[in-house]
Amino acid sequence: MATAIRTTLRAGLPDRYLTPEDIADLFSVPLETVYAWRKKRTGPPGFRIGKHLRYAPEAVHAWIGTRIEADAA
């Protein structure tokens, strides 16, 4: 699944919102890390749809860009 997500993100934006599990797979981090990022507000911005947490692919791409810029500085 992670490979499919990476391929989709490289080729363009996926046609669906990403789940916390998708984010964990994408960055090869434990799911707990994704939730810790959210709690600390240091990870990609997510939003709730009812009780479900989702991430917009565009927001994840923007977050990656800010991380790359911060590391380059």
The CATH code that applies to domain 2-72 is 1.10.10
Q: Helices (H), strands (E): how many in the chain?
A: 4, 2
Map residue 18 onto helix, strand or coil.
strand
pLDDT digits (tens, 9 = 90+) for 28-67: 999 999 999 999 999 999 999 999 999 999 999 899 999 9
Please report, for the chain, the start and end positions of each structural domain, with discontinuous segments joined by +.
2-72
Beta strands in 8-51 (DSSP E): 46-49
Q: Note the pLDDT of residue 10.
A: 53
Kindly report whether the global pTM for this prediction surpasses the value 0.75.
yes
Q: Which of 41, 6, 8 is nearest to 24 (CA)?
A: 6
